[in-house]
Chain A
Amino acid sequence: MNFYATLLIALKALRVNKMRSALTMLGIIIGVAAVIVMVAVGSGARAQVEAQIRSLGANLMMVFSASSTYTGARAAVGAAYSISEEDAYAIGRELTDVVAAAAPALRGSGQIVAGNSNWSTSFYGVTPDYFDVREWSIAEGRFFDQAEINGAAKVVVLGKTVADNLFGDASPIDQTVRIRTVPLTVVGVLAAKGQSPGGSDLDDVLLMPISTARNRVLGATSLAKSRAVGSIQIKLIDGIDSQYAEERVRELLRQRHRLQPGQDDDFTLRNLTEILQTREESSRVMALLLAAVASVSLLVGGIGIMNIMLVSVTERTREIGLRRAVGAQAGDILRQFLVEAITLALIGGLVGVLLGSAGAQAIGALAGWPIQLSASATLLAVSFSAAIGIFFGFYPARKAARMSPIEALRHE
């Protein structure tokens, strides 16, 4: 008997008990729809987080000043200025095998005034390397250059948020802003980056030459009298193992700071690749969890199919006997019931995909979440439901095929 004829028999048998077939499929439908929705929401969220992390700069590593226990009480990270501009240049110069660029940054905060407007924000004194390391691009105007660093030029580059708040729709280029009474000329506006993974506004920032920050803006404070910096931002070479790079940077800094073996680091290393890996790890755990939930519901659906197929085989014992009497081989009977179970599971799977896709879109639209429908998850769900049909349909089908034709015909 050919496959097409077998399929027709299966469809006819399923049509006869429409309600029962639909209820049997329900387990598979819910299982598959759940998988589709969860994967769509999960991978959408994951893609968003990854995009946010990348917006900070790929392969980014940061060094902060840290107080050592040497002095007794510990201060907050970055409170003591133990790392210097020279450390940053040394990292950039000596670790060229792992580091693409190293940029020192001196942080301050204060009120920014432009005409009648004012805005309170953080500002950074940086070098041109900083733009490269943090992957900033310019929307309008230009970055400052090394000559302006050397001359402690009174220039500034504004983040999008700062520019908007101080100047509205007008162009800030060549306008003057004042920070702590120091007038600075705006030479550029940064392209918007949006939010960080932590939810803070990455565009609420103001960048100026590090020498300007040190000598002109922060100059009044005693902390800035040395060459100390608050952080060094390091861009690693693509593909470099971040653990290894971290060791190399640590080694160099301990050497430069003349720390004895056993003495604590007087700096802290933070690695964005690690944060990214942590995120990926947690999304992998999430995916495993989803897979477990989906497996359970598909398993329950499969057992439902097996149950109904067993009922169906018993109900149709005489039909089986008759088919055997008129010449059906045991294999024909096996295939008939197996195809019926697979059809049940596959239709359930396809309906589940449709409902799940529609549900994911609806959730995305209602909750405003990023939704990413996955073709591979869809394919996996459908083939998994077919596999369930085969697995859970086999036992009832074999039971049908192994019936003695005589006893089946005599069945009341």
Chain B
Amino acid sequence: MNASPPPRSPLIRTVDLAKDYPLGDTTVPALRGVSLDISAGEFVAVMGPSGSGKSTFMNLLGCLDHPSGGQYWLGGHEISRLTDDALSSLRNRRIGFVFQHFNLLARTSALENVALPLLYRGMGARERHERAAHRLRQVGLAERMDHHPVQLSGGQQQRVAIARALVGDPALVLADEPTGALDSRTGVEIMALLQQLNHEGITVVLVTHEHDIAAYADRIIHFRDGRVVDDLANAHRDAGADLAALSAVSA
């Protein structure tokens, strides 16, 4: 394990975090005690084969599930004992999600999709739309705000999803295989966008099984059999430069 203390106070701290799933009369341990810190501003890639516990870990980080044991501190608050409603509110205010299959609402404009999290804050329509429009401009979709998901390419849909993850000004963006459904060039575009957001100060935790994609992170954590087996700093590749090179080749 990398023992070097984090330079800033950790945004995420897990202590012996464990999760068991019931299977018939027995329980299957999916996570067997994970202790790690992630500091604000880090770009972390989580890797591992299926069944390694990385998805379970991400669900716990995303406050979508309760741990069976251990503690999870997010932004200095221990949250593993919070009620379902409190977790919902926490997800709404502190966490943005990006999914492999985008999970946009069909028959709903890009703008409304992005504004969706703000609806659950009880925010008025005008402010919701202003903030959503701002985030769509940020991801380069100023011209596509009224388009529905079916009218957008895969890369554009994922940009809408990223704008939705950002609209609530979260401290943490959790990206679960964000490039899994995209061709490699579009995947690099999305990574460039995530890197750019990370430079602007947002903490990004990314799950992937592709080494090429993990290479864009500052830190790579490997899971196996419910444990962290490897936690290494990574001199990240610059997705922006890769994109420029790709453009030069195709030109």
Interface pair B88/A406, CB less than 8 Å apart: no
Q: Apart from A12-B107, A325-B91, A325-B103, what are 13 other A-B pairs with CB-CB below 8 Å?
A: A1-B122, A319-B105, A322-B116, A323-B116, A323-B120, A326-B92, A327-B88, A327-B92, A327-B120, A328-B88, A329-B120, A406-B65, A409-B99
A330 within 8 Å of B (CB atoms): yes
A170 within 8 Å of B (CB atoms): no
Interface pair A329/B64, CB less than 8 Å apart: no
Query: How many pairs of A and B residues are in contact by the CB < 8 Å rule?
Result: 61
A405 to B65 alpha-carbon distance, docked (Å): 8
Instruction: List chain A positions with a Cβ less than 8 A from chain B.
Output: 1-2, 5, 12, 16, 318-319, 321-332, 404-406, 409
Interface pair B64/A325, CB less than 8 Å apart: yes
> Which chain A positions have C-beta within 8 A of B105?
319, 322
Interface pair B120/A325, CB less than 8 Å apart: no
Interface pair B84/A329, CB less than 8 Å apart: yes
> Which chain B positions have C-beta within 8 A of A2?
122
> Which chain A positions have C-beta within 8 A of B116?
322-323, 326
> Which chain B positions have C-beta within 8 A of A323?
116, 120
- Chain B interfacial residues counted at CB < 8 A: 25
* With A406-B59, A409-B99: A327-B122 Cβ-Cβ less than 8 Å: no
> Which chain B positions have C-beta within 8 A of A330?
84-85, 88
* With A325-B91, A327-B168, A329-B84: A5-B119 Cβ-Cβ less than 8 Å: yes
> Which chain A positions have C-beta within 8 A of B125?
5
B89 within 8 Å of A (CB atoms): yes
- Residue of A16, A323, A326, A329 with most partner-chain B CB within 10 A: A326
B62 within 8 Å of A (CB atoms): yes
> How far in angstroms is the closest Cβ of chain B from A331?
7
> Which chain B positions have C-beta within 8 A of A16?
107
> Which chain A positions have C-beta within 8 A of B62?
325
- Out of B59, B65, B93, B99, name the residue touching A327 (CB < 8 Å): B93
A383 to B92 alpha-carbon distance, docked (Å): 36
Interface pair B88/A322, CB less than 8 Å apart: no
B97 within 8 Å of A (CB atoms): yes
> How far in angstroms is the closest Cβ of chain B from A121?
78
> How far in angstroms is the closest Cβ of chain B from A14?
12
> Which chain B positions have C-beta within 8 A of A319?
105
B48 within 8 Å of A (CB atoms): no
A391 to B117 alpha-carbon distance, docked (Å): 29
A409 to B88 alpha-carbon distance, docked (Å): 15
Interface pair B164/A326, CB less than 8 Å apart: yes
A1 to B118 alpha-carbon distance, docked (Å): 9
> Which chain A positions have C-beta within 8 A of B84?
329-330
Interface pair B97/A327, CB less than 8 Å apart: no
B121 within 8 Å of A (CB atoms): yes
Interface pair A1/B120, CB less than 8 Å apart: yes
A327 to B122 alpha-carbon distance, docked (Å): 11
- Out of A1, A318, A331, name the residue touching B119 (CB < 8 Å): A1
Interface pair B103/A329, CB less than 8 Å apart: no
Interface pair B85/A331, CB less than 8 Å apart: yes
> How far in angstroms is the closest Cβ of chain B from A3?
11
> Which chain A positions have C-beta within 8 A of B85?
329-331
> How far in angstroms is the closest Cβ of chain B from A342?
20
A326 to B112 alpha-carbon distance, docked (Å): 13
- Residue of B99, B107, B120 with most partner-chain A CB within 10 A: B120
